[in-house]
């Protein structure tokens, strides 16, 4: 039988690529968003009754809808919106019996890149065992979102993946967004990390398809940094005292894909040098 996936935030950059990836994999997709778009069901998921009505039985929920950063929004709006969306989606999933959740988390649970005070990075490459230290409200909502997913898994016995992603990019967005930033000192707050939107979309499908139990949390990243400078040159300047647990030759990324490869078979296929 054809599988069914529900994608929230389906008109956004990540959501649209996730919906496309599920369709390419042969899924029927219910695309939900608060904005109008062709092929998308308009619904305000911050309204619990509306969420209950819009979210029915499915094989997988890809929950992406959120206010995507702390910059440009009031802190209370980011917290209220993101936490309400998570609660309502989980409640509707539980009511409908959806047994697999893939949550769009963020590498910002480390504290980067929006923290108002310096963040301690313990080692490179960063993996899922690295301490979390969110400060800004967006990072806090991503961490609390993971904790709410954890509670849902304990309560229901179902399975979930929280995918921690860096800056999502396309060939069109990279020249406008990344090129002006990558030579600035604050690029180190990104760990010079990014992921192609197509790879991110595919990771959600791989997480939905994986033989996985409990709640797994892991990073995904492009294989390289977004910088033109070698990785060791970058961290010699920005993070000279941080432990290096692996060889970081060439332009090797500082977020580890090892756990994602082990759990869901993920490997990045696209990078900015192909753009």
For 104-123, the pLDDT digits (tens) are: 999 999 999 999 999 999 99
**Which CATH number characterizes residue 116's domain?**
3.40.50.720
Tokens of 184: 């600035």
pLDDT for the residue 159 = 98
pLDDT for the residue 120 = 96
Domain membership of residue 41 (yes or no) is: yes
pLDDT surpassing 90 at residue 218: yes
Instruction: Give the pTM.
Output: 0.97
Domain membership of residue 247 (yes or no) is: no
**How large is the average pLDDT for residues 70-89?**
97
**How large is the average pLDDT for residues 151-172?**
98
**Rounded distance between C-alpha atoms, residue 249 and residue 26, angstroms:** 38
DSSP state of 132: P
pLDDT surpassing 90 at residue 183: no
User: What does the H/E/C string look like for 136-198?
Assistant: CHHHHHHHHHHHHHHHHHHHHCCEEEEEEECEEECCCHHHHHCCCCCCCHHHHHHCCCEEEHH
Domain membership of residue 243 (yes or no) is: no
Domain membership of residue 215 (yes or no) is: yes
**How large is the average pLDDT for residues 53-76?**
97
Q: Which domain holds residue 88?
A: 4-171+195-224+254-274
Domain membership of residue 242 (yes or no) is: no
**Rounded distance between C-alpha atoms, residue 2 and residue 102, angstroms:** 19
User: What does the H/E/C string look like for 79-123?
Assistant: HHHHHHHHHHHHHHHHHHCCCEEEEEEEHHHHCCCCCCCCCCCCE
| Angle made by CA atoms 133, 137, 143, in degrees to the nearest 5 | 50
Q: Which helix (H) or strand (E) holds 209?
A: helix 197-209
pLDDT surpassing 90 at residue 171: yes
Domain membership of residue 232 (yes or no) is: no
How many separate domains does the chain show? 1
For 42-63, the pLDDT digits (tens) are: 999 999 999 999 999 999 999 9
pLDDT for the residue 167 = 98
**Rounded distance between C-alpha atoms, residue 45 and residue 53, angstroms:** 10
**How large is the average pLDDT for residues 248-273?**
98
Domain membership of residue 217 (yes or no) is: yes
**How large is the average pLDDT for residues 88-92?**
98
Domain membership of residue 185 (yes or no) is: no
């Amino acid at each position: 039988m054809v599988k069914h996936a529900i994608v929230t935030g389906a008109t956004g950059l990540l959501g649209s690529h996730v919906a496309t990836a599920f369709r390419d994999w042969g899924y029927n997709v219910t695309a939900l968003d608060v904005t109008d778009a062709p092929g998308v069901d308009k619904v305000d998921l911050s309204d619990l009754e509306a969420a209950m009505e819009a979210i029915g039985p499915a094989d997988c929920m890809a929950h992406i809808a959120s206010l995507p950063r702390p910059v440009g929004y009031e802190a209370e709006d980011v917290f209220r919106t993101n936490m309400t969306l998570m609660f309502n989606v989980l409640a509707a999933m539980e009511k409908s019996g959806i047994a697999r959740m893939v949550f769009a988390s963020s590498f910002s649970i480390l504290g980067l890149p929006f923290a108002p005070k310096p963040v301690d990075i313990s080692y490179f490459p960063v993996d899922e065992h690295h301490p979390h230290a969110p400060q800004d409200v967006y990072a806090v909502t991503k961490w609390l979102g993971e904790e709410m997913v954890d509670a849902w898994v304990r309560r229901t016995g179902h399975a979930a993946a929280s995918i921690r992603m860096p800056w999502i990019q396309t060939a069109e967005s990279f020249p406008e967004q990344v090129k002006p930033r990558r030579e600035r000192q604050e690029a180190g707050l990104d760990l010079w990390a990014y992921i192609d939107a197509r790879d991110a979309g595919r990771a959600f499908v791989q997480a939905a398809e994986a033989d996985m139990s409990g709640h797994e949390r892991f990073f995904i990243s492009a294989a390289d940094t977004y910088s033109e400078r070698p990785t060791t040159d970058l961290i010699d300047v920005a993070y000279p005292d941080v432990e290096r647990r692996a060889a970081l030759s060439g332009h090797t990324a500082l977020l580890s894909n090892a756990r994602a490869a082990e759990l869901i078979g993920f490997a990045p296929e696209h990078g900015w040098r192909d753009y």
